[in-house]
């Protein structure tokens, strides 16, 4: 076994971490946030959620996750609120997911994106530094932080070369997290995931929810790109398991994880057109897409090598692409059937 790798006995021991543990999740109303809160509660954690806006039909609210968690209303720009929350609820683990995550919005509103994704990250990390009881902070970066690279798949040792607004915002948050670990010894780990999909994503401009809504409604899916771009896709419950795993190892063996980023993906990249075909099979409906070919400035291919997370953290996708798409399609059928 490689140094720092997680064996079965180690995984079992670390899995007992969550009962009664006090956890803060930022961005809980987002796609990953709702599933992560659900997974933490299922493991017995006491969860507090920082929430800026109430999204009535988000999975966080409609499936009663929020009824069993402390809801703190406020923004990442309010550092005094962050410090009060960490202190008052005796938070031991922090999952920082809150961000402006839509690439098109980032292009239209760069300052708002930088404020949310960069300043919000340093505010939270500084609050954690002041609250010594916090023993693990997991910060969400992205595969987009790598930018255009001469070699694929992305490996963790590759430099962060993001140039587009969203990509730069995630690269900066990533490096700020690394800085707090290196300079201040803050126990911070970084996750870099491919494109997440799953029930609860209400950002219809994204490929999976937008395509599902169109197919279920009997309409032709609309692709902004020409469909040739190659991307990684990761089912949201597999992503939630990855975040839990980083939080567990960071708590039990901080020296092996703190200050490091880990890649998470299904390791089976697909073009947009291939992914659309996979979605169509999950729904059982095939309709020829409308291809706009407007997204000409996107990086042609982005995908990750997840072997380091598998070897050192003992993580692997337990649900996978096929089953993940089946579950996702079922969620949207129910959601859209109820007037979503």
Q: Residue 63, Cβ neighbours under 10 Å: how many? A: 14
Beta bridge partners of 112: none
> Positive or negative, the Cα torsion across 10, 13, 304, 230?
positive
What are the structure tokens assigned to 14, written together?
A: 């670390």
| Dihedral angle, C-alpha 140, 279, 164, 182, nearest 10 ° | 20
Beta bridge partners of 72: 50
Nearest to 212 by CA among 103, 331, 59, 323: 331
Phi, psi (rounded to 5 degrees) for 169: -60, -40
Alpha helices in the chain (DSSP H): 8-14, 31-42, 59-62, 79-88, 103-108, 110-114, 120-130, 165-184, 207-216, 236-252, 254-257, 272-283, 307-313, 320-337
Contact 77/119 with Cβ under 8 angstroms?
A: yes
Beta bridge partners of 332: none
Is 166 annotated as catalytic? yes
Options 89, 146, 154, 166, the catalytic residue = 166
What are the structure tokens assigned to 74, written together?
A: 């406020």
The torsion region of residue 98 among left (phi > 0), alpha (psi -120 to 50) and beta comes to beta
The number of CA neighbours under 13 Å toward the Cβ of 287 is: 17
Q: What is the DSSP string of 256-294?
A: HHTT-EEEE--S--EEHHHHHHHHHHHHT---PPEE---
Catalytic residues: 166
């Amino acid at each position: 076994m490689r140094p720092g790798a997680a064996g079965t006995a180690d995984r079992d021991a670390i899995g007992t971490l969550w009962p009664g543990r006090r956890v803060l999740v930022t961005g809980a109303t987002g796609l990953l946030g709702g599933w992560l809160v659900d997974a933490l509660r299922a493991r017995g954690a006491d969860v507090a959620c920082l929430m800026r806006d109430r999204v009535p039909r988000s999975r966080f609210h409609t499936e009663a996750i929020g009824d069993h968690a402390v809801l703190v209303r406020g923004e990442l720009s309010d550092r005094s609120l962050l410090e009060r929350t960490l202190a008052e609820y005796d938070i031991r683990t922090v999952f920082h997911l809150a961000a402006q995550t839509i690439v098109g919005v980032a292009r239209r509103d760069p300052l708002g994106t930088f404020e949310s994704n960069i300043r919000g990250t340093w505010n939270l990390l500084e609050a954690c530094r002041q609250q010594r009881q916090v023993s693990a902070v997991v910060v969400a970066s992205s595969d987009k932080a790598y930018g255009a690279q001469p070699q694929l798949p992305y490996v963790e040792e590759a430099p962060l070369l993001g140039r587009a607004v969203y990509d730069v915002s995630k690269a900066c948050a990533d490096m700020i997290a690394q800085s707090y670990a290196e300079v201040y010894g803050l126990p911070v780990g970084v996750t870099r995931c491919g494109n997440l999909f799953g029930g609860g994503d209400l950002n219809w401009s994204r490929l999976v929810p937008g395509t599902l809504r169109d197919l279920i409604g009997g309409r032709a899916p609309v692709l902004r790109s020409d469909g040739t771009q190659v991307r990684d896709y990761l089912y949201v419950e597999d992503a939630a398991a990855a975040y839990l795993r980083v939080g567990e190892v960071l708590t039990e063996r901080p020296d092996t994880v703190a200050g490091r980023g880990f890649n998470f993906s299904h390791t089976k990249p697909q073009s947009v057109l291939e992914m659309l075909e996979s979605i169509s099979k999950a729904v059982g409906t095939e309709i020829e897409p409308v291809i706009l070919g407007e997204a000409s400035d996107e990086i042609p291919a982005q995908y990750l090598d997840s072997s380091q997370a598998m070897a050192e953290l003992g993580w692997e996708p337990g649900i996978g692409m096929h089953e993940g798409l089946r579950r996702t399609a079922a969620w949207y059928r129910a959601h859209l059937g109820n007037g979503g």
